[in-house]
């Protein structure tokens, strides 16, 4: 693959070195909470990232299929690659769930029109993963990376993130960021777009969101219980809109 000058995995959410490897594989035990608590992605962000005429898409590190669901709604054939069996079991049946990793994608060369990654690129080994993405893409195919961040310009969201030690702050978005990759042979330099959206929550769903986070999964039981109590204290009453900002990156196989 040529030179691969990559920046720290996700410029908005640097992963702590001390427990990165544990956090990377922690999600399986919280698959149900992940499915219930995590927000989906705005359709306009997916349309922006997909090439014209796309039919077949690889959703890489698909988790429980939050992004997969949106791709299926667009009428696409979706191969959902996910290494954790507990997460893979929750992926929608209409997709093609496959056991695999970003660094060893179990699909043939030139078999998909796009590769999408939701909330996961920062867990990858970027040079190896980008080489695999390029391999499975058809000419003119695209890589689309997405991160949902919480809009902490809203006061209660800022209070919530402070109370749970949240990393996913929209205020961390830089106006002129380093690209998520650069100098990758066979992939264009990526471009970025920002999409605002919202999801309907209540206190129980907000708890599920927090419980699904890798750092929460690894907490001792007493600290985890105290964290859940803090979430319930700060959550608005009844149903409410959780304001989100989706940061999206797009590159094309050249």
In order along its 254 residues, the chain shows pLDDT tens digits of 332 333 333 343 444 445 544 444 455 456 888 899 999 999 999 999 999 999 999 999 999 999 999 999 999 999 999 999 999 999 998 999 999 999 999 999 999 999 999 999 988 999 999 999 999 999 999 999 999 999 999 999 999 999 998 889 999 999 989 999 999 999 999 999 999 999 999 999 999 999 988 778 777 889 989 999 999 999 999 999 999 999 999 999 99
Residue 113 lies in a domain: yes
DSSP structure class, residue 236: P
Residue 44 lies in a domain: yes
Q: What is the dihedral of CA 9, 11, 16, 17, to 10 degrees?
A: 40
Q: Which range of residues forms the domain containing residue 119? A: 20-151+168-198+243-252
Residue 64 lies in a domain: yes
Residue 217 lies in a domain: no
Q: How many domains does the chain have?
A: 1
Residue 226 lies in a domain: no
Residue 140 lies in a domain: yes
Residue 222 lies in a domain: no
CATH number at residue 70: 3.40.50.150
Please answer whether residues 253 and 213 qualify as being in contact, where contact means their C-beta atoms are separated by less than 8 angstroms. no
Residue 157 lies in a domain: no
């Amino acid at each position: 693959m040529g030179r691969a000058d990559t920046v720290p995995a996700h410029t908005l959410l640097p992963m702590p070195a001390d427990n990165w490897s544990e956090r990377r594989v922690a999600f399986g035990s919280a698959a149900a909470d992940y499915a219930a608590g995590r927000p989906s992605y705005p359709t306009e962000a997916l349309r922006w990232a997909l090439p014209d005429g796309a039919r077949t898409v690889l959703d890489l590190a698909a988790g429980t299929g939050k992004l997969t669901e949106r791709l299926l709604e667009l009428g696409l054939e979706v191969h959902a690659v996910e290494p954790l069996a507990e997460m893979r079991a929750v992926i929608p049946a209409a997709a093609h769930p496959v056991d695999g990793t970003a660094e060893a994608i179990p699909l043939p060369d030139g078999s998909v029109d796009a590769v999408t990654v939701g909330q996961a690129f920062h867990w990858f080994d970027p040079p190896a993963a980008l080489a695999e993405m390029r391999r499975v893409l058809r000419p003119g195919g695209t890589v689309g990376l997405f991160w949902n961040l919480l809009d902490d310009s809203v006061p209660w969201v800022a209070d919530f993130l402070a109370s749970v030690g949240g990393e996913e702050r929209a205020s961390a978005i830089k106006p002129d960021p380093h690209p998520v990759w650069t100098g990758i042979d066979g992939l264009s330099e990526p471009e970025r777009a920002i999409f605002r959206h919202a999801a309907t929550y209540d206190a129980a769903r907000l708890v599920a969101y927090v419980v699904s986070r890798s750092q929460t999964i690894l907490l001792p039981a007493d600290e985890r219980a105290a964290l859940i109590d803090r979430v319930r204290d700060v959550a608005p009453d009844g149903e409410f809109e959780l304001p989100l900002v989706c940061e999206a990156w797009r590159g094309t196989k050249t």
